[in-house]
Structure 1
Amino acid sequence: MKRLREFFQKENDHSADVARERLKMMISQDRMQRSQPDFLPRLQSELVEVIKRYTQSEQSDIQISYHSLPQRAQIELNVSWPRNTP
């Protein structure tokens, strides 16, 4: 009986962790969208399309973040794609 309870408890813990991470991501994106320039969403989607055209990357392999610094704004772009195998 105890093992069965532990089994379901682990699932709940994992689900809670996943939900917590998703919530953090949603809050981060919401904050980013409030402080970003009007053109940024279009720029981000165009960058993603160009990267996908020239690499084998998926949407989930491309992260774009916007940082508002005191003297300037900064866009950070991280892309991962599979290595070509000979």
Structure 2
Amino acid sequence: MKRLRSLFQRDNAASADVARERLMVMISQDRLQRNQPDFLPRLQKELIEVILRYTKSSQEDIQISYHSLPQQAQLELNVTWPSRS
């Protein structure tokens, strides 16, 4: 019986650690979203529209992310360009 209990206790401890890590990730993502400026969603939409207007990229080829650092904020834009054929 002790062996069975120890097996289940280890599983509970391991799953608690996983749950704690997932919660920390969710909290950090929520904090990042709250720190975003109000104009950011509109700016992202306009950037995507301009890129689509002047290139043959699709919306799936464009990735925009926002990073808030202690002294500055950073907007990262990654575009996969279509090859010339």
What secondary structure is seen at the aligned counterpart in 2 of 1:64? strand
Q: TM-score, normalised by structure 1?
A: 0.61
| Pairs aligned (count) | 60
The runs of 5 or more residues in structure 2 that have no matched partner are 1-26
1:65 equivalent to 2:65? Answer yes
Q: What does residue 33 of structure 1 align with?
A: 33
Q: TM-score, normalised by structure 2?
A: 0.61
The sequence identity of aligned pairs, in percent, is 76
Give 1:33 shift: 2.7
What letter is aligned with 2:58?
A: E
Q: Aligned partners of 1:49 and 1:29: how far apart in 2?
A: 26
1:46 equivalent to 2:46? Answer yes
- Report which of the two structures shows the higher radius of gyration computed on alpha carbons: 2
Q: Aligned partners of 2:28 and 2:46: how far apart in 1?
A: 21
Q: Please list every run of at least 4 consecutive aligned residues from structure 1 whose deviation after the TM superposition is greater than 6 angstroms.
A: none
Q: What does residue 84 of structure 1 align with?
A: 84
Q: What does residue 21 of structure 1 align with?
A: none
What letter is aligned with 1:46?
A: E
Question: RMSD between aligned alpha carbons?
Answer: 2.3
